[in-house]
Amino acid sequence: MLAAERRNEILTILREEGRVIVADLSKKYDVTEETIRRDLEKLENDGYAERTYGGAVLRGGEKDEVPFLMRKRENVEAKMRIATALSQMINDGDRIMLDASTTALFVAKQIRDKKNITVITNSIEILLELSDIPEWKVLSTGGSLRGRALSLLGYQAERMVDGFFVDKAIISCKGVDLNKGFTDSNELDAGIKKQMLNSATKRIMAVDNAKFDKLSFTQVVDFSGINLLATDKKLSEEWEARLAQSNVEILYTDE
């Protein structure tokens, strides 16, 4: 395993458990404790962890968000299944909005063979991915660059989105909670996602199974704010009943 991959996994453990122990990680990855200390030092320097005696804890606040390039390597198989299923719902001539999530990027990769598509996005990665399709109309929201997330955010981005109406909006989020709905780690991220949903006829939330029963910092929308939820694994009866109560269609991609 490459050092970057190991650090990515350690950061995932930190996000889920809040702390890690050097000795445990050394055994888990079959490397020396000194190697693990260097990993934790790198995570601390990058602003994600705070080292403690014998381990590290997750640093609170916005800095605990995993960068886009690291998130892109998480749950890839699940995101690809979701993206493949959603790509089949996009027709030639559609106008769509895609947020700066990694799942939306996978959707963009899956629809490159479509014709006469209009895409509005706040994702730097999606803009680059679609930059070589001259027959498409690809619009950037503009706004302030959030480098860690490779996204464009803020008042200018939300105002631009507010001026358009599209067939479909496909977004993702950091957590899905039975009571609070769809949540994200940053108010500006939540703001642009909400505006994209408001501008679309078909409002699609694409979330892999790992996001359920997790509550992030701020609400994007409640369940009534979407038409369709796409996910990779069958949900519990409790979840299905909650979504049905809000007339949300569920698209399972593992069937």
Of 41, 62, 83, which one is at a domain's C-terminal end? Answer: 62
Taking a C-beta distance cutoff of 8 angstroms, is the pair 127, 105 a contact? no
In whole angstroms, give the CA distance from residue 202 to residue 155: 24
- Average pLDDT in the 120-146 region? 95
Q: What angle do CA 58, 72, 5 make, to 5 degrees?
A: 60
Beta-bridge partner residues of 252: 231
Same domain, 96 and 172: yes
pLDDT in tens, 151-196: 999 999 999 999 999 999 999 998 999 999 999 888 889 999 999 9
The CATH number of residue 39's host domain is: 1.10.10.10
pLDDT band, very low/low/confident/very high, at 74 (cuts 50, 70, 90): low
Same domain, 48 and 85: no
Of 62, 79, 98, which one is at a domain's C-terminal end? Answer: 62
pLDDT at 67: 58
Same domain, 24 and 98: no
Reported for 51-59, long-range contacts at CB under 8 A and 24+ positions apart, including other chains, are: 52/19, 54/21, 54/22, 54/23, 55/19, 55/20, 55/21, 55/22, 56/14, 56/19, 56/20, 57/14, 57/18, 57/19, 58/14, 58/15, 58/18, 58/19
Which phi and psi (to 5°) does residue 74 adopt?
-95, 135
Same domain, 37 and 90: no
Same domain, 224 and 186: yes
Tell me which amino acid residue 109 is.
Answer: K
- Average pLDDT in the 229-250 region? 96
Taking a C-beta distance cutoff of 8 angstroms, is the pair 35, 25 a contact? no
Same domain, 186 and 212: yes
Of 37, 62, 87, which one is at a domain's C-terminal end? Answer: 62
Instruction: Identify the burial level of 38 via C-beta atoms within 10 angstroms of its C-beta, where 0-12 means exposed, 13-18 middle and 19 or more buried.
Output: middle
pTM for this entry:
0.76
Same domain, 188 and 91: yes
The CATH number of residue 88's host domain is: 3.40.50.10470
Same domain, 226 and 156: yes
pLDDT at 254: 80
Q: What angle do CA 204, 208, 214 make, to 5 degrees?
A: 100
pLDDT in tens, 18-58: 789 999 999 999 999 999 999 999 888 877 788 888 899 88
Retrieve residue 193's tokens.
């996602």
Same domain, 181 and 219: yes
Number of structural domains (the chain) is 2
pLDDT at 4: 80
Q: What distances in angstroms separate CA 137 from CA 131, 157, 249, one per listed residue? A: 10, 17, 29
Same domain, 115 and 134: yes
Same domain, 163 and 186: yes
User: Which of 73, 52, 130, 76 has its CA nearest to residue 98?
Assistant: 130
Which residue range is the domain that position 114 belongs to?
Answer: 70-252
Same domain, 149 and 227: yes
Which among 8-22, 67-81, 191-205 has the top mean pLDDT? Answer: 191-205
